[in-house]
Structure 1
Amino acid sequence: MGIFSKLFKGPQIDMEKSNANAKKMRELFNGAVDGGGDYRLIFGYTEDVSRFNFGIVHGSRTKIGNLIVGWNEASQTIVVVPTVPDLSGAGEPVYYRRSEILKAYRNKYPNDAFIIYPDRKGYIGINAYDWLEDESLYVYVSQEEELAAFTDFFLNHFAKK
């Protein structure tokens, strides 16, 4: 049983790499957001799917956008900072304050996403998982505990009916 349990365990998380990336995420977030240390963080991503139709050929293309997502329970604010999988840089933060958003909910199908409508013109879908192995598309970080905390925060404060 010992040998077979090791063979069929599947991929294992490299915690050293994960912790180094979590530290980089914190540094980028703190550099982009005033008072960034007051926020808890997770990695998330957003997808932009475009469809094409060239006569006989039909299909779609998906663009992945990596995000550092911070939340502050006291101010009921979520801040999203765009980044890249290797965490070599970050974009401008976007703030979502509970008092200023139109609606928010958790979409379970076709993928698990946290949807925020800041107004009637646009929305953001934040996909987040406890760990994604593909380093070419996603930030390599293990975040099971933080993701559970974010989910609770989102459902209790943002997705209220």
Structure 2
Amino acid sequence: MGFFGKLFKGPEIDMEKSNANAKKMRQLFNQVVENGDTYQLIFGYTEDVAWFNYGFVHGSKTQIGNLIVGWNEETKTIVVVPTVPDLSGCGDPVYYRHSEILKAYRNKYPTDAFIIYPDKKAYIGINAYDWLEDEKLYVYVSQEKELAAFTEFFMNQYATK
């Protein structure tokens, strides 16, 4: 690969940093989820868009919430644990058991997200990608295989509701 091949290849993933963050995700998840090791993990995020209209100024402001998303194929359960990009802490887990889900689907527009409605009033949108470079907003972790496994699980177990 010549100079131009490297130039147009784009940023490369720092696998040492990614692996260290994957270990931190596992530690945080296991601290707050009973039998945490029985779950596979990915990083995801959710967006909260607030619209505003101040006379001549119109727009929106988006807040990003980082998530550690675990799933257990045997129990058909997804667990979402809020966290921060540097993985310095986490919140309480929220469980989405297959038997308790009202509706679930994969939304492709405007973003690729896994949508879960536990009831008629609330929902969560889980966005997940192979890798996101912005460490200020997202957890730095490469997860191509894990994301493929989660997508298959979600589409087979949840999106059929």
Q: Is the structural similarity TM-score above 0.5? A: yes
Mapping of residues 8-23 of structure 1, within 5 Å: 8-23=8-23
Q: Deviations over 1:116-155 (max 9, x none)?
A: 0000010000000000000000000000000000000000
Structure 2, unaligned runs of 5 or more: none
Q: Which amino acid aligns with 1:61?
A: K
CA shift at 1:40, angstroms? 0.1
Q: Deviations over 1:49-71 (max 9, x none)?
A: 00000011001000000000000
> Following the alignment from structure 1 to structure 2, what is the Cα–Cα distance between the partners of residues 108 and 38?
29
Tell whether 2:54 aligns with 1:54: yes
Corresponding residue for residue 142 of structure 2: 142
CA shift at 1:8, angstroms? 1.2
Aligned pairs, number = 161
Q: Post-superposition, which runs of at least 4 consecutive aligned residues in structure 1 deviate over 2 A?
A: none
Q: Deviations over 1:69-108 (max 9, x none)?
A: 0000000000000000000000000000000010000000
Q: Which amino acid aligns with 2:31?
A: G
Corresponding residue for residue 5 of structure 1: 5
SS at 2:87 equivalent: coil
Structure 1, unaligned runs of 5 or more: none
